[in-house]
Amino acid sequence: MMRQIRSLCVLVLTLCACSTASAATMRRVILPTGVRVILRPEAASELVAISICIRTEPDRAPFDDAAGELAARSLFSSSLNRSREKLAAGIAQVGGSIETSRTAEHVNITCIMLPAQVREAIYLLCEVLKNADFGALEAARTELRAEQANESGLPAGLDLLRRALQARPELAELPYGRITRAQVTTYFQKRYTPDHTAIAVVGKFDSASVETALHDSLADFDRPGMRAGRNNSLYSHATNYPPRTMRQPGVSAFALVATPAPPLADADYAAFIVLKSVLGDGHASRLFRRLRDAQGIGYNVGAAWQTSLSDPMVAYLQWEIRPSKGNAAPTAAPENDRDRLTPDAALSLLNAQLNGLLTDPPTEAEIIRARSLAAGRETLRHERARDRAFLLAWYEAMGVGAEFYDLLEGRLAAVTREDVLRVARTYLTPRASVLVVPWP
């Protein structure tokens, strides 16, 4: 009880600390080229965060996927107007904190700086957005190949699950070595377009000055947009994908079961967040209570859904497989001996909890707890300027509008038990499973 009271106090204090930032005024500006700009000045902030989000259609072809990854990785290596060295000096001048990430549905660039550096940062970011020239493509290619060769454990398992639910399980690796600089440039010019771009500026800045700087810097950002693709679900609902087993060094084993999840703009988005909290968020979740508490199984157990990474939901269970004496393989042991849990049994345990959400539906008390936890986690995402800027740009670029930033908490509070049961029936049947186990 005392632990719950302390957790509640921490959450209340966090919510109070974030309330000032939530009260900031947001303004949308649509530039003549079609770029949407979200301005959110915060007088109490000491920094400024600029986040650029470019919505991209999911790449179904391996060559497009590889070109897209190479483009994102080498975006800041050079431009038509600046060498690699000049770009590096420019990045250092604005504070050196620039991050680029790519998912199946968007590319994001986020830059943090002091207020005095805002105009220089805007010029640098817009220069790259318009004129990236990919001068360090080989370095990006080498880096990606090394990651492919060394990837193991959870990252490799998650990547295999993504491909399985996208009906691409046969794809062993992307063909980075066969992509030319011309193909990367073509991908960049077709996908990084004004009509798919949203820019959010959050923190201590003058709105009129920033608006003028963006207007001037992007006046010639006029590439035509791509024809919209089919609005198919990123993840298929095929159920014939057999469990895959991957080997890795060490003694830790992981069982992973993934299900499709609704996209950001889907009406079921908020209800699915609550469903995930019921299943695997915290020590009161079903996975933790029914596996770790009740049976003593699993060092790490829960459910993850990284919505901003366009991921499926993944239920996971980590345990240790100790080698047997001699040449004998590990064998099943009593149910409460977590060190002797077999991989097949681990998958069965996870699937049983997913099935239980349908056969043994959550109680109203579970829903209330999950709603509160989901709302608290969402509020924590607003704590840093960089995260606030990213969310505003992401929401705007993905079509739900930057207003979703202030609406999501209310939608989470409105989720009912019937909503959770509906999304469980819709999304939990298609599954893909991966076992990551030690070498024998």
How far is Cα 420 from Cα 91, in angstroms, rounded to an integer?
46
Cβ-based neighbour number of residue 334 at 10 Å: 7
pLDDT at 23: 46
Confidence of residue 9 (pLDDT cuts 50, 70, 90): very low
300, β-bridge pairs? 318
How far is Cα 141 from Cα 66, in angstroms, rounded to an integer?
10
Q: Which of the two residues, 9 and 74, has the higher pLDDT score?
A: 74
Confidence of residue 12 (pLDDT cuts 50, 70, 90): very low
Q: Is the pLDDT of residue 238 over 80?
A: no
Structure tokens, 266: 């889907």
Structure tokens, 282: 């915290």
Q: How far is CA 314 from CA 215, 259, 334, 357, 377, in A?
A: 42, 7, 26, 15, 18
Would you say the C-alpha torsion 416, 421, 425, 431 has a positive or negative sign? positive
pLDDT at 393: 98
- Looking at domain 24-217, its CATH class is alpha beta
Characterize the bridge pairing of strands 48-55 and 106-113.
antiparallel
Mean pLDDT, the chain, integer:
82
- Per-domain boundaries in the chain: 24-217, 244-438
How far is Cα 382 from Cα 23, in angstroms, rounded to an integer?
12
pLDDT at 3: 43
Count the residues in the chain: 440
Q: Tokens 């301005």 map to which residue? A: 39
How far is Cα 276 from Cα 40, in angstroms, rounded to an integer?
31
Q: Which of the two residues, 230 and 392, has the higher pLDDT score?
A: 392
Q: Tokens 């798919």 map to which residue? A: 196
How far is Cα 36 from Cα 403, in angstroms, rounded to an integer?
13
Q: Please, what's the b/e burial string for 379-417 (b: 16 or more CB within 10 A of its CB; e: otherwise)? A: bebbeebbbbbbbbbbbbbbebbbebbeebbebbeebeb
CATH topology of domain 244-438: Cytochrome Bc1 Complex; Chain A, domain 1 (3.30.830)
| Whether the model pTM is above 0.75 | yes
Model pLDDT for residues 279-315, shown as the tens digit of each residue:
999 899 999 999 988 888 888 899 999 888 888 899 9
pLDDT at 324: 57
How far is Cα 263 from Cα 312, in angstroms, rounded to an integer?
10
Model pLDDT for residues 36-45, shown as the tens digit of each residue:
999 999 999 9
Cβ(174)–Cβ(66) below 8 Å: yes
Q: What is the mean pLDDT of residues 190-199?
A: 95
Task: Give φ, ψ of 95 to 5 degrees.
Answer: 115, -15
Q: Is the pLDDT of residue 142 over 60?
A: yes
**Do the two domains 24-217 and 244-438 of this chain adopt the same fold?**
yes
Q: How far is CA 22 from CA 40, 143, 287, in A?
A: 10, 39, 33
Q: Is the pLDDT of residue 328 over 60?
A: no
